[in-house]
Structure 1
């Protein structure tokens, strides 16, 4: 129960070609019915005859919410792939862990996109009366069948380009982050005035890149969509954006980016480049060692230096909605009353 509403939860299986294989529901949406427990129940009760179409050596891509059901799937001979968890005392994923997790999420995006299609149906995008609970499962299966039959594929790109992208990701997964190794081995993460010089980003001789070049680096568009809001928080009213340039290596810059999750936390990042393109990157955030794509902090800096500031139109930050709000902390100055003008004042 949440806000006096009974919540129900479906469990869907989606193929890599964005087709709904099966949908089981409705399940209760409480702590005892998390993703892992629901999957265990589906397998134990053979719900939807799952054991007839889920075969040995099949590969199942899951998110972190299914971690407690991994052992059961592996006992059935099913291969599972899931993003990594930070180990106790670990503050950052290794390059291999970051790369593998990005590889998994790159494949699993079809699940979120397919689920998003369900909400395009007005019936499922609103609160339903409790009297519809007995029929929700059938309604949902009908809608998913219609999506399979009549909706266009979510991925309608060039198959050859998709295959090249897959090969690129597989290759990058096996590589090390050379800039990370350089930063750590040469102690460049210690920002000293003897090694680094603070300048405005407008003075950095950064290569001009296109949005397509940036998509090739990020391996997607989500990070690019976040870049504008990230940069807007760091650009001053005079459109100044400060970075640090290494005194011995002019093609190596350092910047500090604010976390969008924790206001009191900021991350240092480094970017290496030449006259034509970006050569490497490393950030101190959890996924900052990644080279299969990049974190949002790095992509924001590259987006600004290589693309946004090179536009002919002035840089435009994200909409500042706070200008329409009143901050109670900004108290007006107290009114000063001159007692000499008080007609009721009586001198003794």
Structure 2
């Protein structure tokens, strides 16, 4: 990577070009107060990460109970609006479908597998493969407000905190794509009658090129 040391300069050049030639980008409801709120939140400690590290939850498998998603009845229903607010935008939410599809294909199963703490409700772990490194598996931890999964009118805070072991998963502002995908699936997609996932026909053709038609 001969250009690695120049990434900062490249970033500044790209930013200058965008600022000069790209139309003004406006975010709905964005203002100075929201910016200050996000900055303050970015300085907060990720309490889920702190607990995971102190209690060594990544390694102590005996404290977890293996579940399938049908057994997780107390996970709150989430709206797309809530997910967009939590993830600070729409980008991560749009990626969620492909991340969940990839997990289902990697695990070769239809059920969404997860773990719950042995003696505590409202805290789960999900393990997913990295989409970019086959040998890497990330662990996602989510603390949530226990409620009836069918109650979509509960106004209490639904998600207390989250942490993923990927490089960008320890944030307190927004979420990484892994956390978003789990929240999107457990809190939204599995309650919908029809959810369309990206087509995998091209991927299957590439993986099994010997069977492609002449």
TM-score class, shorter-chain normalisation, is 0.7 to 0.9
Q: Secondary structure at the match of 2:85?
A: helix
Q: Residue in 1 aligned with 2:140?
A: 269
Partner of 1:174: 43
The residue correspondences of 1:111-150 to structure 2 (distance < 5 A) are 111=15, 114=18, 144=21
Q: If you compute each CA radius of gyration, which structure gives the higher value, 1 or 2?
A: 1
Render the CA deviation track for 1:43-100: whole Å, top value 9, x for unaligned: xxxxxxxxxxxxxxxxxxxxx4329xxxxxxxxxxxxxx9xxxxxxxxxxxxxxxxxx
Match of 2:150 in 1: none
Contact persistence 2:129–2:138 (CA under 8 A): yes
Which one of the candidate residues 14, 28, 31 is aligned to 1:157?
28
What's the secondary structure of 1:271's corresponding residue? Answer: strand
- Quote the residue 1:319 is aligned against: 199
User: Which 4+ stretches in 1 moved above 6 angstroms?
Assistant: none
Q: 1:296 to 1:326 in 2, by over 3 A?
A: closer
Equivalent residue in structure 2 for 1:289, among 161, 165, 170 = 170
Q: C-alpha displacement at 1:175, in angstroms?
A: 0.5
Number of residues of Structure 1 aligned to a counterpart in Structure 2 = 196
Q: Secondary structure at the match of 2:197?
A: coil
Residue 66 of structure 1 aligns to a residue in which SS?
helix
Contact residue 113 and residue 154 of structure 1 kept, 8 A = no
Task: Write the distance in 2 (CA, Å) between the matches of 1:282 and 1:243.
Answer: 15
| C-alpha separation in 2, matches of 1:113 and 1:213 | 33
Larger relative contact order (CA 8 Å, sep ≥ 6): 2
How far apart, in 2, do the equivalents of 1:308 and 1:318 lie? 14
Report the Cα distance in structure 2 between the residues aligned to 1:279 and 1:297, rounded to whole angstroms. 17
Distance 1:257 1:162 in 2: 36
Shift of 1:113: 9.7
* 1:185 Cα deviation after fit: 1.2
Alignment partner for residue 184 of structure 1, among 40, 48, 53?
53
The Cα RMSD (Å) is 3.1
In the TM superposition, residue 227 of structure 1 has moved relative to its aligned partner by 1.0
Unaligned runs of 5+ in 2: 148-155
Contact residue 254 and residue 268 of structure 1 kept, 8 A: yes
Alpha-carbon distance, 1:324 to partner: 4.4
| Residue-by-residue CA offset, 1:270-307 (whole Å, 9 max, x unaligned) | 00000350100111111111111111111110111111
Shift of 1:265: 0.8
1:210 pairs with one of 79, 90, 100: 79
Per-residue CA distance 1:8-52 (angstroms, 9 max, x = gap): xxxxxxxxxxxxxxxxxxxxxxx79x995xxxxxxxxxxxxxxxx
- Over 3 Å counting, the alpha-carbon distance change for 1:231 and 1:324 in structure 2 is same
TM-score normalized by structure 1? 0.50
Q: Which residue of 1 aligns with 2:152?
A: none
TM superposition score normalised by structure 2 = 0.78
Secondary structure of 1:169 counterpart: helix
